[in-house]
Amino acid sequence: MRSLLIESLVRKHLAKWQLYKPTDLVLQAPAAATTVWIGYRTTPANMPFGTTHFDLNIIDGVCYILHVELVPEHRGRGHGAQLYDLLVAIAREWPCDRVEQTPSGWTTTGETRAKYLERHGWTLRGNIAEKELTNGSGNRTRRIE
């Protein structure tokens, strides 16, 4: 049952993204009641590189973005910003208290990933970029278990 809820939650948010297709893969590996790995791939080959994809670990109310990649033809067009917004929405609904990423690399415009995230409302704390999450009421009422 939990696996269906996780996939449903992820696909609900991805459906708002213009690059999403219902045939894309949503993968998961629940490890404990408060821990899960979630992956997304645009090809059935389940290749972690050379595809548009992401990997998340959700552990005890914190969503760690492990990797986000867009294929070259989709870069520099706002698709990455939209995908980050969807990842935050998934984390918020989980519900997580914050999202974290160790940013590395550069955008197609030459901006560092850290500066890109900071420009999109993330806070830099050392080598970690984080986004605190609130749902307006401060209450966490929905957790997938």
Closest CA to 58 of 17, 118, 5: 5
Residues 30 and 3 sit within 8 Å (Cβ to Cβ): yes
How do residues 65-101 score in pLDDT, each as one tens digit? 998 887 777 777 878 889 999 999 999 998 899 999 9
The domains of the chain, with CATH numbers, are 2-99 (3.40.630)
Residues 41 and 56 sit within 8 Å (Cβ to Cβ): no
Residue 51: pLDDT over 50: yes
Closest CA to 72 of 44, 52, 102, 88: 52
How do residues 1-18 score in pLDDT, each as one tens digit? 477 888 999 999 999 998
Give the Cα separation of 5 and 32 in Å (integer). 15
* Secondary structure tally for the chain: helices H, strands E: 3, 7
